[in-house]
């Protein structure tokens, strides 16, 4: 027991728990919330392939402090060699729980930990928790990552997985595919953390990075990937060169830079998203990284680009490829950047150029720049965003357009 942290929960925390599941306090003590809303304390311990589960009382009739005392007594009984007797039902505390567990099994509630292999639990967890996470592409990547790289633990019981098993998953790819390795580690860690919260395993998460895997895995031989950004001082000359090029790729890139949009959002802009009268571009959630709608104030420079493209269109891509109905490709824009001597920079990097300009060359509040970039904000900044909305950001975007000479 010495290796497991105790007293992870608090009175305030358990009073706020309403989502069905089991929440670990440490030392084999769990706070359980049933689908029907009832709440109670449980003592759970794996022993020789069997599970000891003892009810310690319902909440709030039984306090957290009382449950901890009962759990401490049970741990002492285990130390003194009484675990076989407990499993046989010798403990007075076991009687109520045995009846409760039979009732739960009959009602199909709370699957038993021994029923779960890692792959079974992982798929069930992903089915429930990735629905609103991100795009379909990202969700498919989660499934394929776990299926391909978690094979060494795929058929193992959740309760049997150790750090050595996680290393068996990671060692083959840790240095040859470092980004993939970190992604696999993070996803396995999250799945096992969910299993602990739900009471299907206990103890230290074997996939935990800090003070665990970071002590045994070699340093990864790569620098974290950054998007190479053009220094904002160079942008006026670059925009001038773009304006001398009348291609669709040039206009698309100008639009992306002026709006500080992501490449896919800008290239995929649709006429039906553009409100020319109010100078606002409304991007729907399905096209946003954070899956939330985003409204972009359009500067006069942006409006000029749209007018030159023939804004009489009612729908379809604003920046069309040669193939009708298809947006211009990222390759076309990157080829243009290469021809203009900007091969060293990325399209996404222009967002960093905008942020650097806003932070270093202006007095605009940071949260305005972050909102212009559609970044997630903390609670205080989110409140600011609700109060100030699009028109405050319009001032920022017009200043940005004036600086780079996009008119």
Average pLDDT over residues 290-312: 84
Residue 5: pLDDT band (50, 70, 90) is: low
348-407, pLDDT tens digit by residue?
A: 999 989 988 988 888 888 877 888 887 765 444 444 444 346 788 889 999 999 999 855
pLDDT of residue 225: 45
List C-alpha distances in Å: 15 to 40, 109, 326: 11, 22, 53
pLDDT of residue 111: 44
User: Would you say residue 256 has pLDDT above 80?
Assistant: yes
Mean per-residue pLDDT over the chain, rounded? 80
User: Would you say residue 95 has pLDDT above 50?
Assistant: no
119-132, pLDDT tens digit by residue?
A: 988 988 888 888 76
DSSP state string for 234-299: GHHHHHHHHHT--SHHHHHHHHHHHHT--HHHHHT-BGGGEETTTTEEEE-GGGSTTSS-EEEEPP
| Predicted TM-score (pTM) of this structure | 0.47
219-242, pLDDT tens digit by residue?
A: 654 434 445 889 989 999 999 999
The percent of residues in the chain predicted with pLDDT above 70, rounded, is 79
User: Would you say residue 40 has pLDDT above 60?
Assistant: yes
Domains and CATH numbers, the chain: 11-110 (3.30.160.390), 118-215 (1.10.150.130), 232-404 (1.10.443.10)
pLDDT of residue 224: 42
User: Would you say residue 100 has pLDDT above 50?
Assistant: no
198-225, pLDDT tens digit by residue?
A: 878 888 899 998 889 988 887 654 434 4
Asked if 194 and 216 count as a contact pair (C-beta separation under 8 A), the reply is no
| Nearest in space to 400 (alpha carbons), one of 372, 358, 356, 350 | 358
């Amino acid at each position: 027991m010495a290796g497991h942290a105790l007293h992870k929960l608090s009175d305030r925390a358990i009073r706020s728990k309403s989502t069905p599941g089991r929440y670990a306090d440490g030392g084999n003590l769990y706070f359980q919330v049933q689908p029907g809303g009832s709440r109670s304390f449980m003592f759970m311990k794996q022993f020789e392939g069997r599970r000891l589960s003892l009810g310690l009382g319902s909440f709030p009739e039984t306090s957290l402090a009382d449950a901890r005392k009962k759990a401490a007594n049970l741990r002492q009984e285990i130390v003194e060699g009484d675990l076989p007797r407990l499993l046989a039902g010798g403990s007075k505390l076991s009687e109520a729980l045995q009846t409760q567990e039979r009732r739960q099994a009959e009602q199909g509630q709370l699957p038993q930990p021994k029923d779960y292999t890692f792959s079974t639990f992982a798929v069930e967890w992903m089915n429930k928790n990735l629905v609103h996470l991100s795009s379909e592409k990202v969700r498919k990547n989660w499934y394929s990552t776990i299926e391909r790289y978690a094979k060494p633990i795929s058929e193992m019981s959740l309760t049997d997985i150790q750090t050595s098993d996680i290393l068996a998953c990671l060692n083959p790819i840790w240095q040859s595919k470092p980004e993939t390795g970190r992604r696999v580690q993070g996803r396995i860690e999250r799945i096992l953390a969910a299993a602990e919260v739900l009471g299907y395993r206990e103890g230290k998460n074997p996939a935990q990075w800090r003070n665990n895997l970071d002590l045994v895995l070699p340093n990864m031989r790569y620098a974290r990937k950054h998007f190479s950004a053009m220094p904002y001082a160079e942008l006026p000359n670059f925009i001038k060169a773009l304006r001398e090029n009348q291609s669709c790729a040039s206009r698309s890139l100008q639009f992306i830079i002026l709006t500080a949009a992501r490449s896919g959002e800008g290239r995929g802009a649709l006429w039906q998203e553009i409100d020319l009268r109010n100078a606002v571009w409304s991007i729907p959630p399905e096209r946003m990284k954070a899956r939330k709608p985003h409204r972009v104030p359009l500067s006069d420079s942006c409006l000029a680009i749209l007018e030159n493209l023939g804004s009489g269109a009612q729908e379809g891509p604003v920046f069309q490829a040669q193939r009708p109905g298809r947006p211009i490709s990222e390759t076309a824009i990157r080829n243009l950047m290469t021809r203009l001597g900007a091969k060293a920079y990325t399209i996404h990097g222009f967002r960093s150029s905008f942020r650097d300009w806003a932070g270093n060359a202006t007095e605009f509040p940071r949260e305005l720049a972050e909102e212009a970039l559609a970044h997630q904000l903390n609670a205080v900044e989110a409140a600011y965003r609700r109060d100030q909305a699009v028109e405050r950001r319009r001032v920022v975007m017009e200043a940005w357009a004036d600086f780079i000479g996009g008119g």
